[in-house]
Structure 1
């Protein structure tokens, strides 16, 4: 497995562990206020990054590596900012709008760049 694919899967596992821990905490306390944070952590963090990692692993040499690393960084910066803002909102604090916008555009940008990676990998002829 490539270092890029391993990086995506490693980050995905961290988000999954955090999401599972949060789910266990909510179940133990019977306070489900943070369920949107739990859902986003699992969807954007675990599922999103794991699928990207699988793509970069399967695409192999066809995938653009440098762009892949950019996607990895942008996605994680966006996820961390977004999850932090969502946590604050759910705790009753007003969002820090510039940070929230940066998070949203970072996650969106990562997905757009990932789409470019997919298209670039698809344009290379099969071996």
Structure 2
């Protein structure tokens, strides 16, 4: 399966998690995990959705080794980052080490995405979607 499609599917899962988390926080009246909820919606749902769209629109970028590394590093680091953040937001620092490692891995994966975009995304590649004459 192509990396762009995988990103889109993971984004949909993070959207479900983010919405479920927000609803749960509202029902129980405990907003302590609001920071994690926001990160899951932005870094999970929105960012992954955009990565997926870019990789689908620009197959050269989506089929590159950089895209595959980006996908795996992002999808390993994000849940571990969020787990550590949830624990800290609830006042438990036992998993603080997760916040020392995995946000940095996530940033590394974003750097790979940026390099991939600058290397493999060309204006001519997207013109095929608009010049159907």
Q: TM-score, normalised by structure 2?
A: 0.85
**Distance in 2 of aligned mates of 1:72 and 1:66:** 10
Runs (4+) off by over 4 Å: none
- Determine if the alignment matches structure 1 residue 38 to structure 2 residue 48: no
Q: Which runs of 5+ in 1 are unaligned?
A: none
What whole-Å deviation, never above 9, does each CA across 1:2-55 have from its counterpart, x for those lacking one? 621110011111111000000110111121111111000001101111111111
Q: TM-score, normalised by structure 1?
A: 0.89
Aligned-residue RMSD, C-alpha:
1.8
Shift of 1:104: 1.2
Higher-Rg member (1/2): 2
Does the Cα contact within 8 Å between 1:75 and 1:110 map onto a contact in 2? yes
**Distance in 2 of aligned mates of 1:120 and 1:37:** 32
Distance 1:62 1:6, change over 3 A: closer
The answer for the alignment partner of 1:80 in structure 2 is 79
Q: Which runs of 5+ in 2 are unaligned?
A: 126-133
**Distance in 1 of aligned mates of 2:47 and 2:61:** 20
